[in-house]
Structure 1
Amino acid sequence: MNTLVLAAVHIDEEKQWGHYEPWLKKVSPERQARILRMRRPADRIRSLVSELLARKYISEARHIPFSEIEFLSNEYGKPFVSEALSLSFNLSHSGNWVLFALDETTVGVDVEQIHPVEELSLAKRFFDPAEAAQLSELSEKQRQERFFQLWSLKESYIKWKGTGLSTPLHSFRFMKEKGEWSFSNDHGDECFFHSIRLDDSHYMAVCTSKRYDAIPQVIVYEVEDFLTSLS
Structure 2
Amino acid sequence: MRYLRFKEGEIDIDLIGLKFNSLSDDVIKQLIEFIPLEEKAKILKVRKRKDLQNSLIGKLMVRTIISYECKIPFDQTCILHTEYGRPILKLDNPPDFNVSHSENWVLVGFSHTGRIGVDIELIREIDPQTYPLYLNKREIDYVKETDSPSISNELWSIKESLIKLLGCGLSYAPDKMVIDINLYRRGEIKIENFISSNFEFHLSKALPGYIMCVCKDKSFKTPLNIREMKQSNFVNTFLEWMTHNDSNTQIMPNIKNWTTLV
Amino acid at match of 1:106: R
Amino acid at match of 1:171: K
SS of the residue 1:34 aligns to: helix
Matches within 5 A, 1:21-170: 21-104=29-112, 105-118=114-127, 120-139=128-147, 142=148, 144-170=149-175
SS of the residue 1:93 aligns to: strand
Aligned partners of 2:37 and 2:129: how far apart in 1? Answer: 43
Structure 1 unaligned blocks of 5 or more = none
CA deviations 1:124-163 (Å, max 9, x no partner) are 3431222112112113xx2x11111221111001001110
Closer, same or farther in 2 for the Cα pair 1:218/1:88, shift >3 Å? farther
CA deviations 1:153-188 (Å, max 9, x no partner) are 110010011101111112223335444123124332
Closer, same or farther in 2 for the Cα pair 1:192/1:180, shift >3 Å? same
Aligned partners of 2:216 and 2:237: how far apart in 1? Answer: 27
Q: Which residue of 1 aligns with 2:204?
A: 196
Structure 2 unaligned blocks of 5 or more = 1-9, 242-262
The 8 Å contact of residues 6 and 217 in structure 1, kept in 2 or not, is answered as: no
Deviation at 1:217, TM superposition (A): 4.1
Q: Which residue of 1 aligns with 2:247?
A: none
Amino acid at match of 2:79: F
The 8 Å contact of residues 8 and 218 in structure 1, kept in 2 or not, is answered as: no
The 8 Å contact of residues 123 and 131 in structure 1, kept in 2 or not, is answered as: no
Length-normalised TM-score, structure 1: 0.89
CA deviations 1:55-102 (Å, max 9, x no partner) are 111111111111111111111111111241421100011111111000
Deviation at 1:24, TM superposition (A): 1.8
Q: Please say if 1:8 is aligned against 2:17.
A: yes
Aligned partners of 2:150 and 2:38: how far apart in 1? Answer: 39
Aligned partners of 2:186 and 2:236: how far apart in 1? Answer: 40
Closer, same or farther in 2 for the Cα pair 1:177/1:154, shift >3 Å? closer
Amino acid at match of 2:152: F
Aligned partners of 1:198 and 1:57: how far apart in 2? Answer: 22
Deviation at 1:34, TM superposition (A): 2.3
SS of the residue 2:178 aligns to: strand
Amino acid at match of 2:193: D
Length-normalised TM-score, structure 2: 0.79
Deviation at 1:200, TM superposition (A): 2.5
The 8 Å contact of residues 81 and 88 in structure 2, kept in 1 or not, is answered as: yes
Aligned partners of 2:94 and 2:224: how far apart in 1? Answer: 20
The 8 Å contact of residues 16 and 41 in structure 1, kept in 2 or not, is answered as: no
Aligned partners of 1:87 and 1:149: how far apart in 2? Answer: 27
Deviation at 1:121, TM superposition (A): 3.0
